[in-house]
Structure formats: C-alpha cells, structure tokens
Amino acid sequence: MAVPCAVPEDGTIAGWQRTGRGLRRDKLLYIDQKNMFSFLVSFVASALLTLLVIKDARLHGPALDANFHGVQKVHAHSVARIGGLPIFLAVALSACISIWRVPAMTSWMMSLLCCSIIAFTGGIIEDYTGRVSALRRLLLTMVAALLGYYLLDARIDRIDWVFSAWPLPYLWLTLPLTILAVAGIANAVNIIDGFNGLASVVTICMLLSLAYVALQVNDMFVLVAALMVAGATAGFLIWNYPVGLIFLGDGGAYFIGFMLGELTLLLVMRNPQVSTWYAALLLIYPAFETLFSAYRRMFIRGKSPTMPDGIHLHSLIFRRVVQWAVGRKDARALMRRNSLTSPYLWMFSLMAVIPATVFWRHSWVLMCFCFLFVTSYVWLYVRIVRFKAPRWMIRHKKHS
C-alpha cells in the first residue's frame, strides 16, 4: 500500500507520490487549511449531536445509567451513557468530507472506519442492553484488529532497541501480538473511563501527540484521522465535563481506544524513524493501569482479573484525596469531587505524553521515561493505599 505523504494537487495516489516529502511550507499550509478543518468539523458535529442525544429521550431511553451503588459508580442522577454514538457519527461525517476533499484517502479512511465499526458495535449494544459481556466486547475488538491487520497492514513487525531493531517477520508472532496490543488498548481506555472528562482528555492529548509526530514524518493520513477523532472527542467533552450531562459509555471508550491503538500502530510501523518506544510511552498510562489492575486482582486479592473493583488509581484519588477537600454528604459535593479527580490523572498522564512527543525518535530516552512512569505509578499507588498521599495532592477543605 502506498503511504500518502504530502499535499497532492490532483487528489490522486499518483499525486501523493509525485509531491514528495520535502515541501515544508506547503505542508504547513496544508495543516492550516485542510487538517484543522477536519478537527473543527468533527468538533462541531460531535458537540451538536451530543446535545441532541442529551435532549432527545427517544435516543437514550434504554441507555440511562441509573445504578448509583456499584463499586465504580460516582454519580447521583440518571445519565445517558451513549456518548460514543455522537462521537462515532461525527468521525464518520468528517471522514466522508475528508474523502470528498482528498480522494486519495478513500481506501485508507474507509478501511479504518470498517474496522472501527466492529469495536464500536459491541460497546454501543452493551450501552443499550447491558447484555454484552466484557469478554465478548474484547473478542469483537480483537476481530476489528484482525481486520485492520489485513486491510490496513497495521501490524507489529519490529521492536526498537537503543542501537538496533528486532524484526518480527513471522505471522504466528506478529498476528497475535498485534491483535492483543490493539484490543488491549481499547479495553484499557474503557477501564480508565471512571470520572467525568478523565478518558476523554487523556485520549485527546494522545491523539494530538500522534498528529504532531505524524506531521514531523509527513504521514498525512494518520494526521487527519487523529485530528478527526480528537475533535469529535472534544465536542463530546464540553457536555461531559465538569457536570457529566452524558457519559462516554462502552461504545465511546472502545471506539476511541481502538482508533487510538490502530493509529499509533500505523504511525510507528510504517515510519521507521518513529521509535516503537514512542507508542509504549504514549499509551503507558491506560496500558499499565490495566496490567497492574489484573495483577492486583489475580495475585493480591485472588479474584478474577475481569471482576470490577473500586481501587483503581483514579478511584483511590477520588476516595482518599479529593474527598478530604470536598466531603461526601450530598449530590453537589459528589459532583464536585468527580470533577476534581480527573485533573490529577490528566497531569499524571502528561508525564508520559509530553516526553513521548518530544523524544519520539530516541529509543533510549523513551525507555528511561517508561521506567520512570511505572516507578512513579507504583510509588503513588502504594502511598495512597497506605493513607500517605503526598502533601502536594491534598487540597484542604474550605470552610464556609
């Protein structure tokens, strides 16, 4: 498959190839006039569609989250949990407009949307019916990753090290590794979706990082796609944070997570100058949260790794840090605690996203930051579990 690189004048694949990789000024002009347009279309469409979903009870009637007593429930009123529907529709609309403006992207964009529909379907059906198990949603996402392997050639075919790279030429190795990686990231985004704005802002930052690095290597397809998903997520965010008028839901989490994993894989694997450790560091917060949670449930608590609990890092910050500053008495305090929890995790995730974006080609630096992030995560988790949260995290309650 030919990779669209720079700005064609005729909108054809041949035009992409003739233009070359060296036109910096034209590339920047293209970003201003074309790619930011994709972001804005997705943002406006998502914001309007999300408002429509909130206002029209016929759209979210059976998809209300009215369970206030679950181990991971931190809201006090019924909320529609199908935020993924307007996000998906906004991305699809923006993709169609991008295809109309740049026909060379047709096969790439349509293939990506076809794969993402599978991951999205399992989540949105769960949002409406509550009858799709976590295992089935994971399997559907794995099928989507399998389809992406063949339609988009999205595969893990190397692992970079400090002075060399390890090629992975065998199908029996690259295929399962690719499927597990993409499906794992989609599931990880669903796991961190615990508070208003948490998963949305974290994934927006990651998608913008992808767009920046794609710009550096002239990968215009990944750039456009990442900006579309980021714009749609931002349009949803204005209604989700801070008051939580609508939730992302499983459909939204699996869709955004799949797109994030697939675009990261495409960017890194077809641009050898981008280190594979860029992907590892960029996605390390949701990925390590998932791995650490599975380890904690299986080996420390002796339970199934799929059983939900209320002791994720974001849950601990909510209960043992923010609660001290706000209190726990009424619904208004609960909403305020919810909105104050997410910024802690936004800042924490930026510890990985920012260095990944700056050092995207330097494997040894990225490896060091991965080690630093994991160490910091475990240290912070242990401190909070032992009721010894660092002083800088504690906001003292204001007395009226």
The answer to the question of residue 1 being in a domain is: no
Residue 32 annotated as lining a ligand binding site: no
Residue 285, domain extent: 27-393
Tokens of 175: 């295929």
Q: How many CA atoms lie less than 13 Å away from 310 in the CB half-sphere?
A: 9
Tell me, what's the pLDDT at 37?
86
Q: Which of 291, 209, 207, 214 is nearest to 257 (CA)?
A: 207
The answer to the question of residue 299 being in a domain is: yes
Question: Count of domains in the chain?
Answer: 1
**Average of per-residue pLDDT values in the chain:** 84
What's the pLDDT tens digit per position in 274-308?
999 999 999 999 999 999 988 887 777 767 666 66
The answer to the question of residue 19 being in a domain is: no
The answer to the question of residue 7 being in a domain is: no
Tell me, what's the pLDDT at 13?
36
Q: CA 338, CA 214: separation in Å to the nearest integer?
A: 34
Tell me, what's the pLDDT at 340?
85
CB count within 10 Å of CB 17 equals 15
Tell me, what's the pLDDT at 43?
97
Residue 65 annotated as lining a ligand binding site: no
What's the pLDDT tens digit per position in 33-85?
566 888 999 999 999 999 999 887 666 666 555 454 444 445 445 788 889 99
What residues of the chain score a pLDDT lower than 70? Answer: 1-35, 57-77, 302, 304-309, 323-335, 395-400
The answer to the question of residue 13 being in a domain is: no
Q: Evaluate whether 228 touches 98 at the Cβ level (below 8 Å).
A: yes
The answer to the question of residue 251 being in a domain is: yes
Helix (H, G, I), strand (E, B) or coil at 233: helix
The answer to the question of residue 398 being in a domain is: no
DSSP string, 23-65: -HHHHHHHIIIIIHHHHHHHHHHHHHHHHHHHH-HHHHTT-EE
Tell me, what's the pLDDT at 6?
42
The answer to the question of residue 81 being in a domain is: yes
Q: Evaluate whether 24 touches 5 at the Cβ level (below 8 Å).
A: no
Tell me, what's the pLDDT at 76?
46
